[in-house]
Structure 1
Amino acid sequence: MEELINKINHLAHKEKTIGLSEAEKAEQQELRQQYLEAFRKNFKSQISTIKIVDEEGQDVTPPKLKELKEENKGEE
């Protein structure tokens, strides 16, 4: 992931200084899409581990979050 970010940053810097060729612009868009996919996957994984409990100890996790947990169990 770090290498992906470094490539994105390199192209962004180059775009600001000397500009990008059409091939580099396409590469930049592809790298950004890859980053967003990885970010979303990681975020879903993190959020699916959350369990919300009220003061009385009862599980009050929202239904959408419970559904996401079930989806992630199927992907593992």
Structure 2
Amino acid sequence: MADSEMQALIKRINELAKKAKEEGLSELELIERKDLRQKYLKKFRESFKSQVEMIQVFDKAGKEVTPEKVKKLQRDKGLRDD
């Protein structure tokens, strides 16, 4: 999901949250809010997972200490040569 799409999703979620506090939501709006929240969480998790898959961790001495689980994921995706 493009950044602008994510921003639009957040904007609508916030609009519904404000309306829920002020006057309540209709059944359709409750369904829409639930759907939007699920879409947001799915995209957030995908983005976070992608960031973790790209990470490399180094100690103070400059030695790579990336967890083996992450290294394996990176190898499986062709992101590592070692």
Which TM-score applies when normalising by structure 1?
0.81
The aligned length equals 73
State how 1:31-46 maps to structure 2 within 5 Å: 31-46=36-51
Partner Cα distance (1:53, 1:59) in 2: 4
Seq. identity, %: 51
Partner Cα distance (1:16, 1:44) in 2: 33
Aligned AA (1:66)? K
Note closer, same or farther for the CA distance 1:23–1:67 as it changes in structure 2 (3 Å cut): farther
Partner Cα distance (1:67, 1:25) in 2: 41
Partner Cα distance (1:41, 1:29) in 2: 18
Q: Which has the higher contact order (CA 8 A, sep 6+)?
A: 1
Partner Cα distance (2:17, 2:7) in 1: 15
The answer for the alignment partner of 2:55 in structure 1 is 50
Partner Cα distance (1:6, 1:31) in 2: 10
| Unmatched 5+ stretches in structure 2 | 1-5
Which TM-score applies when normalising by structure 2?
0.76
Q: Displacement of 1:56 after TM fit?
A: 4.6
Partner Cα distance (1:37, 1:70) in 2: 24
Q: Displacement of 1:2 after TM fit?
A: 0.3
Deviations 1:7-31 (A, max 9, x none): 0000000000010011110110100
The answer for the alignment partner of 2:3 in structure 1 is none
Root-mean-square deviation over aligned CA pairs: 1.8
| Unmatched 5+ stretches in structure 1 | none
Aligned AA (2:41)? L
